[in-house]
Amino acid sequence: MIKWASLRLKEQQRWLPLALMLVFPLLGYLYHFVDHPTKHVYSLVTDFDRATPFIKYFSVPYGVWIFYIYACLVYFFFRDRKAYYQSIVLYTVCALTCYAIYSVFQTTVPRPLVSGSDVFSRLVTFIYDRDQPFNCFPSIHCFSSYMVLRMMFTSPARGLMNRLLIGGMSVTIICSTLFMKQHVILDALSAFALVELYRLILFKVPARHAEQAALRRRQMEA
């Protein structure tokens, strides 16, 4: 009986780290506090963005974005626990940084007039109705999609198939933000830079210091 209870407790503890994903609804709640125009609203539209066509079919990858991020995190949970923890930390820090930027530097992207009653047009309208045309720079869709791509490409669990799937889907979602006229190119580029900055600060620099400290200890013991 005691052995069975111990095994059950270990099984429960195995799944417990998934509770860290509860940070997502909390961050979603905080998002609405900055999803509105401020005194000054800026435009970062470039000639590249004006030349980028509106393609309603990209509403599908854009719409499934958050479910894709969840799926990637669950995959990391089972295949690379370190990548899972790092992704949770990185997403949280990047999201909070985005919120801080939105509160002082609010940007907007002009949206096209959507006509038609087909399923893709209705999906675009649904997305536009649920999401105000603000909180654009940096792009949360882009930083999170780029984040799981970077995590996968540096993970010990990486393989040809999962790199193709995650790489392909992440790139598609990033492109969808531009074709859906939800973001401009600077929103995407700043999102990539945000991920790389925090990867450097939170993971790479501490890992380098730890390696150097371990090397010094070995040299002292030799």
3-state DSSP of the chain: CHHHHHHHHHHHHHHHHHHHHHHHHHHHHHHCCCCCCCCCEECCCCHHHHHCCCCHHHHHHHHCHHHHHHHHHHHHHHHCHHHHHHHHHHHHHHHHHHHHHHHHCEECCCCCCCCCCCHHHHHHHHHHHHCCCCCCCCCHHHHHHHHHHHHHHCCCCCCHHHHHHHHHHHHHHHHHHHHCCCCCHHHHHHHHHHHHHHHHHHHHHHHHHHHHHHHHHHHHHC
Residue at 57 is within a domain:
yes
Residue at 186 is within a domain:
yes
Residue at 3 is within a domain:
no
Which pLDDT score is estimated for 163?
Answer: 96
Is pLDDT above 80 for 11?
no
Mean pLDDT of 54-61: 98
Residue at 29 is within a domain:
no
Q: What range defines the domain where residue 188 resides?
A: 38-221
Residue at 27 is within a domain:
no
Q: State how many domains the chain has.
A: 1
- pLDDT tens track for 152-204: 999 999 999 999 999 999 999 999 999 999 999 999 999 999 999 999 999 99
Residue at 72 is within a domain:
yes
Residue at 20 is within a domain:
no
Residue at 122 is within a domain:
yes
